[in-house]
Structure 1
Amino acid sequence: MLIRRVELAGAEVVDVRVTGGRIAEIGAAGERLPGRADLDGRGAALLPGLHDHHVHLTALAAQAASVRVGPADVGGRAGLAAALRTGPPGEWVRAVGYHESVAGRLDRWVLDELAGDRPVRVQHRTGELWVWNSAALRAAGLDGDGCFWREDGRLRAWTPPVPLDLPALGRRAAALGVTGLSNADPQPAAGLPALLSVLPQRVVVMGVDGPVKVLLDDATLPPPAELAAAVRAVRPRPVAVHCVTRVQLLVTLLAFDDAGAVPGDRVEHGSVIPAETIPWIARLGLTVVTQPHFVVERGREYATDVDPDDREHLYRCRSLAEAGVPVAAGTDAPFGGFDPWAAMRAAVDRDGAEALEPLEALSLFTGRPEAPGVPRYLDVGTPADFCLLRVPLREALDTLTGDVVRATFVDGRIVPAHL
């Protein structure tokens, strides 16, 4: 493939030839590569394809067959009841994105009042909790209050299969310029890499060909020495530790002090990073993979749910980068919006000292899959995984919206796309 007149690195306009899935030649400014052009870039930017460094792909694909019941989707108790009664009577209802601000705390009896005698299961916005009503429990031969914390693997055996249109998800990602995805499930199901192989993007599965994911919860938090032992047990593989509270981060840093950090070790989310821990993170050489868009998407709920002492420490970006901490981002979809451009805008538009410049925000999604804080560049010999924009880089940075993506290439081939 020969692509003419594209802007590389926001500077010179060049021709690019792709052979065997890699960039074979780059014609310097004014030097026209021989051959007939397959595509005219018209002076628009050619960027490394975006990589979503933290996403849950099967849950995201299942979202299309689910009812959304988050604060932005339904209005109060009546709206939740109407949403849960959609579809033919007797069929299972899978609802996602719930937060207590919609209708308070749920259990089986609350869902019985709202949904009637149809099997209903509702997932909390965090992905940590499922709540089932009595009809669903009876269908599975289960009992109790219907609340299941971190039990997705066990529950899967009792629920009907959910259709997963992964090719559609791949096209949706391509429309946003995404060429790579890191699946961040803590315990990937058997056969998951084969299932995800239908995606046109390059996929990294944590725990298989990526870092080993370690999930922490405050209620079951191990002592630092125990976490350090778990880290040593998987060495030399890197580890990605889920940290969404102050105490989880502290235990993680103590464990890495004990076990020693290796290249590729990561803090996932870094939801609350007190300022005094930033030099510690930098000393250990950890990468932070964060979600700056949560400050926008969950701002109203954070105003009441988050301890006032923690609010200034949420989803840091600039302070980490200035301290030399490699920073990258993932959407955490479906538990966050699946749009890396929206995450970039959130990183730029946020109030206070954590805001990034547009080019810095773009770099959150252009790092290497195995080293998210290390930028990728397009050069001779690099994989031909890139996105062609409709405009020069300067104009794209003014808006930071997926509308600027014209075409996405993986392994030198255009990926069909739609939103």
Structure 2
Amino acid sequence: MLIQRARLLDDTVVDIRTDHHIVEVAQDLAPARGESLFDASERTVIPGLHDHHVHMHSAAAAMTSVSIGPREARDRNGLRTALATAHVGDDGWIRAVGYHEAVAGELDRVALDEVSPPVPVRVQHRSGILWTLNSAGLDRVGLSDHPDGRLRSSDPSWSDSLARRETGLADVSRKLASYGVTGMTDATPDLGVVDVVRFAEAHRRGELLQRVHCLAPGKRILHDDELDLDALTAWIDARHAADAIVALHCVTAAQLVITIAALRAAGSRVGDRIEHAAVVPTDCLDALAELDVVVVTQPNFVAERGDQYLTDVPQDEHHQLWRVGSLIAAGIPLAMSTDFPFGDPDPWAAMRAAVRRTTASGSVLGEQERISARTALTSFFGAPEHPALPRTVNPGEPANLCVLAGTPDDVLRELDAGLVAATVVEGRVVYEQG
């Protein structure tokens, strides 16, 4: 395909010849015989966005789940109403997502039984790492005697009894394509070879418009009550010995500190990642820079959850939350992502959050962490293997591109998904704004 009259971020206007990769970039390229043409009409063309941390199966399941976060359910009565009116899936379950203690306090099987209908119900905490099942649900998974019904997502002793939903992935893919997303990295830790193969086959069939890169089995979720430096160091050593990277889920200061210690003991390697880095104490910045590991973070949570943070987190710790600017200033490689479906899937909203650092109510959280619009945009340009290294529109790069209805100045000023006019994956237009 030949993309004609494409305006790049440096404001030059060029033609771009593609197959699966960018073949040629120059002015006034002559169309080859039989070559398909796409007229960019001097609109801005950038590398397609790569979302560096998503959960595809959870995203598909979330599309048919009931949301019960603070904005939707508000309180215990709202939670009861939401569950009473929720759709029971073909598998016999009500699946609810986005729960936070601000709705009705800490949830266990007894509390959930009081507000749920007499069918199997499972409620996912908005962190994504914990489920609460009611008594009917515990019966269904063979855990009738479980004391509190609080089960970790990563525990296969119960989660393997649930059918993984393959439907809905195409809808997720189309939604992401409409944002200009041309690739995703799935950060789900328990994906197996079968899942990876299915993603590849779905892409080959055209059900998944983008390729999905998977971190499993190199992704590890840490829990504050199970932090074991020796065990973590040994796991990192084993991964590196197998010539593989590690990706470590860190959402608390304790998890980050133990991760830094383990990476120091085992040694870091190119490609190692820290996922989220939701809380970064100032005295961790130099250590992270020395390790040279990539931090993949989600500043969209400042906009989505910032008001709750202002209530729940002590004021003298606010500066530690979802850092971006100070990480970059310290020389720490950084890429951004959305954590879809636990975060909003719109990467442009994540960019705006990194630039503005405003909560839903308009409060500012971490003003010193603001970054420029260009830096926010390019933080979604990285390749899956090198998330902190922005791709460019040059020969040899994958022909994954995003066409935006505006000038480069418009794009950087607005950072808005509404500007996405077309999305190109591997040299083929997979989305055009209607």
| TM-score calculated relative to the size of structure 1 | 0.93
Give matches, 1:86-125, under 5 Å: 86-87=85-86, 91-125=92-126
The residue type equivalent to 1:2 in the other structure is L
Partner of 1:54: 53
Q: Is the 8 A contact 1:10 1:392 kept in 2?
A: no
Contact in 1 for aligned 2:352/2:415 (Cα 8 Å):
yes
**In structure 1, C-alpha distance between the alignment counterparts of 2:213 and 2:165, rounded to whole Å:** 23
Q: Is the 8 A contact 2:21 2:426 kept in 1?
A: yes
Aligned to 1:391: 406
Corresponding residue pairs, total: 412
How far residue 314 of structure 1 moved from its aligned partner, in angstroms, is: 0.9
Provide the secondary structure at the position in 2 that maps to 1:374: strand
- Residues 267-294 of structure 1 show CA distances to partners (whole Å, capped at 9, x for unaligned) of 1111111122111111111111111111
Alignment correspondent of 2:300: 293
Q: Does 1:153 align with 2:160?
A: no
Matched residue, 1:142: 143
- The one-letter amino acid paired with 2:239 is V
Percent of aligned pairs sharing the same letter: 42
TM-score by length of 2: 0.90
> What aligned pairs does 1:3-402 form with structure 2 within 5 A after superposition?
3-18=3-18, 20-28=19-27, 31-34=28-31, 38-87=37-86, 91-143=92-144, 144=146, 145-159=148-162, 162=165, 164-197=167-200, 198=202, 199-207=208-216, 212-223=218-229, 225-235=230-240, 236-350=243-357, 351=364, 352-402=367-417
Q: Report the more deviating stretch, 161-170 or 103-112.
A: 161-170
- Structure 1 residue 163: Cα displacement: 5.7
Would the alpha carbon gap of residues 202 and 151 (structure 1) be closer, same or farther in structure 2, given more than 3 Å must change? closer
Cα distance in 2 between the residues matched to 1:292 and 1:214: 21
Distance of 1:127 and 1:360 partners within structure 2: 28
CA distance in 1, matches of 2:262, 2:160: 35
Q: 1:86 and 1:258, CA in 2 relative to 1: closer, same or farther beyond 3 A?
A: same
CA 1:118–1:34: 2 relative to 1, 3 Å? closer
Quick one: distance in 1 between partners of 2:419 and 2:39? 16
Letter in structure 2 aligned against 1:308: Q
C-alpha contact 1:65 1:162 (8 A) present in aligned 2: no
Higher mean C-alpha displacement, 42-51 vs 151-160 = 151-160
- Cα 1:32/1:371, change in 2 over 3 Å: closer
Deviation at 1:34, TM superposition (A): 4.2
Conserved 8 A contact 1:172-1:417? no
Q: Which amino acid aligns with 1:234?
A: R
Higher mean C-alpha displacement, 36-45 vs 113-122: 36-45
Partner of 2:396, secondary structure, is coil
Structure 2 runs not aligned, ≥5 long = 203-207, 358-363
CA RMSD of aligned residues (A): 2.0
Query: Does the alignment pair 1:415 with 2:430?
Result: yes
Cα–Cα, structure 1 residues 254 and 88, in superposed 2: closer, same or farther, change >3 Å?
A: closer
Tell me the CA shift for residue 242 of structure 1: 1.0
User: 2:261 aligns to what SS in structure 1?
Assistant: helix
